[in-house]
Amino acid sequence: MVNVRQLLAQKLFGIHSAPSQAQAEIQRVYTGLGAEFGQPLTYDNITFAIKREPVAHRIVFAVAHDVFDNWFEVKPLEEGADKEKFNQNVQKVLLLLNAKDVFTQAAVFERAYAGA
């Protein structure tokens, strides 16, 4: 005999459990928001976790921004070159290329998806 209540719960709410007289059971509902246990992770699942979980957000976004917030100086390899002038010229080019934002975004992708 078909249990109409159980069949209706499965079809409408995605609840999959068999009622049992001997034990208490916690019913599971698939939320569709992320990967369930044992499922392979997709990029959508990773993006969802990064946006929703504070620890994942900090590990990905905060660290990537901290790396490039203080920026850096470039020093010439050859001896006798003017270090300040060389660094100023390089910084001008990096500024025109919007390198700080590009490097920060690449660091976010690297930390989140293991590849820039």
Residuewise pLDDT in 10s, the chain (116 residues): 567 666 666 666 655 555 555 555 555 555 566 666 677 788 888 888 888 889 989 999 999 999 888 888 999 999 888 999 999 999 999 999 999 999 999 999 999 988 65
- Concatenating the DSSP letter of every residue in the chain gives ---HHHHHHHHHH-B-----SSS--PPPB--SSSPPTTSPP-HHHHHHHHHH-HHHHIIIIIHHHHHHHS------SSTT--HHHHHHHHHHHHHHTTHHHHHHHHHHHHHHHS--
